Amino acid sequence: MRFKMITTMVALAMGSMAAQAVVTDKMIQDDAKTTGDVLSWGLGTQGQRYSPLKQINTTTVGKLVPAWSFSFGGEKQRGQESQPVVHDGVMFVTASYSRIYALDTKTGKKLWKYEHRLPEGIMPCCDVINRGAALYDNLVIFATLDAQLVALDQKTGDVVWKEKIDDYKAGYSASAAPIIAEGLLLTGVSGGEFGVVGRVEARDPKTGQLVWTRPTVEGHMGYKYDKNGNKTENGISGTQGKSWPGDLWQTGGAATWLGGTYNPKTGLAYFGTGNPAPWNSNLRKGDNLFSCSTLAIDIKTGQIKWHYQNTPNDGWDFDGVNEFVTYEDGGRILGGKADRNGFFYVNDAKTGELVNAFPFVKKITWATGIDLKTGRPNYVPEGRPGDPTASPDGKKGQTVFAAPGFLGGKNQMPMAYSPETKLFYVPSNEWGMDIWNEPITYKKGAAYLGAGFTIKTLNEDYIGALRAIDPKTGKIAWEVKNNAPLWGGVLTTGGNLVWWGTPEGYLQAADAKTGKVLWQFQTGSGVVAPPVTWEDKGEQYVAVVSGWGGAVPLWGGEVAKRVNYLEQGGSVWVFKLSK
Ligand code: CA
Ligand code: CA
């Protein structure tokens, strides 16, 4: 009897250990508040990138030292844009060329790695990067450059399921971190430069089976799937033929390449959409929904609850993919978005109503402002690249100088929001471009731009600026300028600190109220990834991935030349206070 009781107790204890080890929906919902783990891209699906941890603070940060560093190894040192996730003493971190590592958070010891076998002929537009993994139950799930999703056992690294998203030969790829919301795996697609059709997909994270799909180009049908994989129609996105001329909607772009955020109080997932295809806007008169927009999708039904278009009829590659970060203002749930087009938008997260819009960069040529009544930009007509068919030879339209350049006032690097200071911390860039349009026709698997361009610098002393922005007033509370363009994300913590990396290789921490830089560390290569923090047995850790690359060296024109001294890399750094 006594023996039996002890074995029962052991079994119970083991049961509770096993129960602790798997990631539940509740844990994901509470992720932003729980400081012992980082379960989602964004440190909580709302995407605030705020942690209440304050052991490392404005007073103690001077004692921050490396705990360990781990090299991704190989000859694959390319852009590293990954945010690590941390659970149960293990860090899961993705790397260039669709690799993922499981590391002991205390020692940096490698537990396993998985290298996805990539075919010849993948077409990532902007380096062979990956932005991170999602955790669910006993699985870690990430997207690959050949447009697949792979789920691995957290303990062993064994592949549990693998699903194809779409055809990489048609230009589809995937690099965003998936998010999990209410037991659904939510992902987007990349490939807007190849005329793909953007969409959001919901899957069963345990099996990879589709639950619904929602196309992000107006006119396409969405689908629902039953347990056997049988699909039924789930309504057309918008109205066919309304905002696109002719057949162009069939290759309309609007890729959802940065993934999404989710707020459990609204039940809505927020996905930004990229440029309409092709870039030559003279070919596609109309708003070209739902490109360059924020889409709020009811995750129960897969229907678009509301949309807000940041750049109707985009002519500058102002992908509107930037993360929609929800926060509470009084009793209201709002969302902030620093768009590639240079304007910062605040929308009601339930209804999409535009609450505020203001510039967060200093030079904007394509619009004079956003009309808060209509929600539409006040365009500068001569700011749009000219129509090639109006030129004498029909081959090259009028070149215009445009700011921001197509790399954006902000790009893939996610901002942070502090509920304490009520400020957004936005990694922004000041640059412009010469851009012109050319004739183009769609060809499967070929670049579908109809545009030529050169990125230009605007200032001698800086391109990047980390800006603390008040979403109510649009005022910049402080800024820290940076010589190279900022390309990494931001973290803010209860220790009154803001953390971000620079292409010059520094991870740095500044006072969240004043912007005074209090600590920095040279990681050995450029930082183009967002930092994270967690605590373990009373010690606070900060981690960031290092490895210069991404879109700037590939597409940066004069800026790429200015920063061509930067060295590539591939490693993750972890810090804690010295004793
Ligand atoms: Ca957490
Ligand atoms: Ca684009």
Residues in the 5 Å CB sphere of ion ligand 2: 192, 274-275, 317, 319
Cα(319) to centroid(ligand 2), Å: 5
Contacts of 194 (CB under 8 A, 6+ apart): 123, 125, 170, 171, 172, 277, 445, 446, 447, 448
Write the CA distances from 255 to 27, 50, 188, 260, 295, integer angstroms: 30, 27, 7, 12, 12
For the chain, give every domain's residue range: 23-577
Ligand nearest to the CA of 48: 1
Name the residue type at position 385.
P
Chain center to CA of 399: 31
Round to whole Å and give the CA distance between 249 and 283: 12
Q: Are 287 and 313 in contact (CB under 8 A)?
A: yes
Pairing of strands 148-153, 159-164: antiparallel
Residue in 501, 365, 481 with CA at minimum distance from that of residue 428: 481
Report the distance separating Cα 154 and Cα 70, nearest Å. Answer: 19
Q: Which ligand is nearest to the CA of 533?
A: 1
pLDDT in tens, 356-368: 999 999 999 999 9
Cis ω on the peptide bond leading into residue 290 (within 30° of 0)? yes
Q: Label the pairing between strands 517-522 and 506-511.
A: antiparallel
Place of tokens 């009028």: 398
Q: Residue 404 contacts by C-beta under 8 Å, 6 or more apart in sequence?
A: 318, 340, 341, 342, 361, 363, 364, 429, 430, 431, 432
Q: How many angstroms separate the alpha carbon of residue 253 from the centre of ligand 2?
A: 9
- Alpha-carbon span 43 to 430, nearest angstrom: 28
395 CA distance to ligand 2 middle (Å)? 22
Omega of the bond leading into 427 within 30 degrees of 0 (cis)? no
Q: By C-alpha distance, which of 253, 339, 322 is closest to 290?
A: 253
Residue 25 to residue 182: CA distance in whole angstroms: 6
Ligand whose nearest atom lies closest to the CA of 321: 2
- pLDDT, tens only, 416-456: 999 999 999 999 999 999 999 999 999 999 999 999 999 99
Residues 132, 151: Cα–Cα separation, whole Å: 13
- Which CATH number is correct for 23-577, 3.20.20.210, 3.30.1700.10, 2.40.10.10, 2.140.10.10? 2.140.10.10
Instruction: Specify the pLDDT at position 177.
Output: 98
Task: Specify the residue for token string 């705990």.
Answer: 67
Report CA(539)–ligand 1 centroid distance (Å): 15
End-to-end CA distance of the chain: 49
Place of tokens 């879109």: 551
Ligand nearest to the CA of 50: 1
**DSSP structure string for 500-512:** EE-TTSEEEEEET
Ligand 2: distance of its center to the CA of 447 in Å?
Answer: 11
Q: CB of 93 within 8 A of CB of 154?
A: no
Low-confidence ranges of the chain (pLDDT < 50): 1-19
Catalytic (active site) residue 317: yes
Alpha helices in 48-159 (DSSP H): none
Nearest ligand, CA of residue 276?
2
10 Å CB burial of residue 247 (0-12, 13-18, 19+) is: exposed
Q: Which tokens sit at 436?
A: 């012109």
Contact of 255 with 276, CB cutoff 8 Å = no
CB burial of residue 303 (10 Å; 0-12, 13-18, 19+):
middle
Measure 255 CA to ligand 2 centroid, in angstroms.
8
Residue ranges of alpha helices (H) inside 22-122 are 25-29
Residues whose beta carbons lie less than 5 angstroms from ion ligand 1? 31, 34, 37
C-alpha 457 – ligand 2 centre gap (Å)? 20
CA of 318 to the centre of ligand 2 (A): 7
Catalytic-labelled residue, pool 31, 166, 287, 317: 317
Tracing tokens 């804690």 back to the chain, one arrives at: 576
The pTM is what?
0.96
Cα of 40 vs centre of ligand 1, distance in Å, is 8
The H or E element containing residue 187 is strand 184-187
